[in-house]
Amino acid sequence: MRRIEIFDTTLRDGEQSPGVALNAEEKLQIAHQLGKLGVNVLEAGFPIASPGDFEGVRRIAQEVRNVGVAALARANAKDIERAWEAISGGESPRIHTFIATSPIHMQYKLQKSPDEVFEQAVQAVRLAKSKVSDIEFSAEDASRSDVDFLARVFTGVIQAGATVLNVPDTVGYATPEEYAAFLKAIMERTTGIEKVKVSVHCHNDLGLAVANSLAAVGIGVHQLECTVNGIGERAGNAALEELVMALHTRRDQFNVETSIVTSEIARTSQLVSRLTGMMIQHNKAIVGKNAFAHESGIHQDGMLKERSTYEIMSPSIIGVDVESIVLGKHSGRHAVQQRLADLGLELEDSHFEELFSRFKLLADRKREVTTADLFSLVDEQKEKTDQINLDYLQISSGTHLVPTATVGLMYQGQRLADAACGDGPVDAAFKAIDKVLGTQGKLSHYSLQALDGGEDAQGEVTVSVKFGENLVAGRGVSTDIIEASVRGYLQAVNRAYTRGWIEIKQ
Ligand code: KIV
Ligand code: ZN
């Protein structure tokens, strides 16, 4: 069976989702998991974009092995030099350079003639080739480009040394048949196309990203670009898990295979959701909470008689397993350690001891400590690098009271505290945090849900907060929903602080 490569751009295009701001540590964690998932290439970021992006890409290139690491660069010398600086220490580095080729982008955005764009593309690939052998060239807005012009650009960049040609549907405008026909025409008209790999990169503005990518598989493309949970610019990119499971489940139709370890899909999806703060919709294909849930009586009856009546793939194939041992306040170190190992969350001894004491505190507050709770405990541990931490929280609220919050925070070894009133206890607590720190966060999204089923589930709060022009997400979990809200807000504050978007006034 033909092998198709998976190029994951969660850390680049996915990270461009509004509100997502990952630090280098978080990017590295996701990159390691993408390695376990078995992607062929991971796009680690856009090094010229910021010092933080550069550092994230550099560390991933140095520390993540057995997977290609790509860095994005516009088609100019400065970007390419910076991208190369970031990935040169890697095992299999790839420079990914791009320029727009559609009339609308060339005329209005670039304000360049087609000949100038052609020249710039070829020069960029030539420069990149002088540094590394693996060069991907993307024609931004390819699907709205003139087919003959695009074939001319592709022919030129192949001669200059490109090894992968990407045909993005940048604005998610294409339809499957149209996109397949366009790809076919490009492949027929580009000289030297047989020497390179052809890649597709589809956005989801019309909800067609996965369908368009799958249509391209039928044309014989070699690489699919996608993101975990389909996150990305605007409506996002083709979702990795949907592409992979469609190819796997319907291999009778597609006749291709990937190198993805499907049992790592659920874990990867959860990790990306937690660290980006982007919740997964319940009915999301493959990784949504309801993707394998059967509600109606008729369906449940069918399932009990024969699973294949309503189940086209088993949850275990994506790594969703039914837990056999219930963890609670009577569970010992060994049981907790074993469950963490099963979840791929091995910790060093000293970290484990700390986590175990927090596990015991949590188990005192709720009957069962679930997988989601464990993931949260591990996350909290990782967030120990936060500069601003919650020390204490006191709320007074009720039907005849003005909601008031007093918040104590630890910052640079000092305890800072203040109080504020608000429309409700959460609003009061957020205002108190801003008062303590001298920040001015504007809440643009707030959601609260139970972390998982059961009456003693922890509350999980996700927030998006605007600091000036910058939107940043945060997530907090606790048995107390006000505390969860405060923790979510503080995560957003910490992310904004790390990125230099806010200053703390003491
Ligand atoms: O959507 C797009 O065109 C891109 C390119 C940079 C590949 O993300
Ligand atoms: Zn894109």
Lowest mean pLDDT among 66-70, 81-85, 264-268, 367-371: 367-371
How close is the Cα of 441 to the center of ligand 1, in Å? 31
Distance (Å, rounded) from C-alpha 499 to C-alpha 262?
A: 34
pLDDT of amino acid 186: 98
More confident residue, 375 or 32: 32
The amino acid occupying position 365 is R
Prediction pTM value? 0.82
pLDDT one-digit tens code per residue, 298-334: 777 777 788 888 889 988 899 886 555 678 888 888 8
The sign one gets for the Cα dihedral 442, 445, 448, 451 is negative
Q: How many CB atoms lie within 10 A of CB 463?
A: 27
How close is the Cα of 39 to the center of ligand 2, in Å? 18
* DSSP letters for 5-21: EEEE-TTTTGGGSTT--
Ligand nearest to the CA of 96: 1
pLDDT of amino acid 34: 97
How close is the Cα of 168 to the center of ligand 1, in Å? 6
Q: What does the pLDDT average to over 172-195?
A: 98
Q: What does the pLDDT average to over 394-409?
A: 95
498 Cβ contact partners less than 8 Å away, ≥ 6 residues apart: 23, 52, 387
- Residue 38 pLDDT more than 80? yes
* DSSP letters for 265-285: HHHHHHHHHHHHT-PPPTT-T
Residues 502/492, Cβ–Cβ less than 8 Å:
no
Residue whose CA lies nearest to ligand 1 atom number 7: 138
Mutate to test the pocket of ligand 1, among 140, 166, 167, 223 (most ligand atoms within 8 A of CB): 140
Residue whose CA lies nearest to ligand 1 atom number 1: 170
Q: What does the pLDDT average to over 432-454?
A: 89
pLDDT of amino acid 384: 63
Determine whether 444 is exposed, middle or buried from the number of CB atoms within 10 Å of its CB (0-12, 13-18, 19+).
middle
More confident residue, 348 or 426: 426
More confident residue, 23 or 197: 197
Lowest mean pLDDT among 135-149, 236-250, 336-350, 474-488: 336-350
Determine whether 458 is exposed, middle or buried from the number of CB atoms within 10 Å of its CB (0-12, 13-18, 19+).
buried
Ligand 1: atom nearest CA of 203 is: 1
pLDDT of amino acid 118: 98
Cα end-to-end span (Å), the chain: 63
Pick the CATH number of 388-499 from 3.40.50.620, 3.30.420.40, 3.40.50.720, 3.30.160.270: 3.30.160.270
Q: What does the pLDDT average to over 412-429?
A: 95
Please, which pLDDT band fits residue 347 given cuts at 50, 70 and 90? confident
What's the mean pLDDT when you consider all of the chain?
92
Query: Could you give the residue ranges of the DSSP H alpha helices within 161-190?
Result: 176-189
Q: What does the pLDDT average to over 87-108?
A: 98
pLDDT of amino acid 498: 85
Determine whether 346 is exposed, middle or buried from the number of CB atoms within 10 Å of its CB (0-12, 13-18, 19+).
exposed
- Residue 381 pLDDT more than 90? no
pLDDT one-digit tens code per residue, 118-150: 999 999 999 999 999 999 999 999 999 999 999
Lowest mean pLDDT among 80-84, 419-423, 463-467: 463-467
Residues 14/209, Cβ–Cβ less than 8 Å:
no
- Residue 183 pLDDT more than 90? yes
- Residue 198 pLDDT more than 90? yes
Phi and psi (nearest 5°) for 265? -65, -50
How large a percentage of the chain has pLDDT more than 90?
Answer: 70
Write down the domain spans for the chain: 2-276, 297-380, 388-499
- Residue 471 pLDDT more than 70? yes
Pairing relationship of beta strands 41-45 and 68-74 according to DSSP bridges: parallel
The two tokens of residue 18 are 């509004």
pLDDT of amino acid 321: 65
**What is the DSSP secondary structure assignment for residue 109, as one 8-state letter?**
I
Q: What does the pLDDT average to over 354-372?
A: 87
Ligand 1: atom nearest CA of 237 is: 1
Q: Is 140 in the pocket of ligand 1 (CB under 6 A)?
A: yes
The two tokens of residue 223 are 């690489």
* DSSP letters for 369-383: B-HHHHHHHHHHHHG
Please provide the CATH number assigned to the domain covering 2-276.
3.20.20.70
- Residue 174 pLDDT more than 80? yes
Residue with tokens 């503080």: 490
pLDDT of amino acid 205: 98
Alpha carbon 395 to its chain's center: 34
Going through 358-469 in order, the beta strands assigned E by DSSP cover 388-396, 404-411, 414-421, 442-450, 459-467
The sign one gets for the Cα dihedral 333, 338, 341, 343 is negative
pLDDT of amino acid 279: 87
Q: What does the pLDDT average to over 72-87?
A: 98
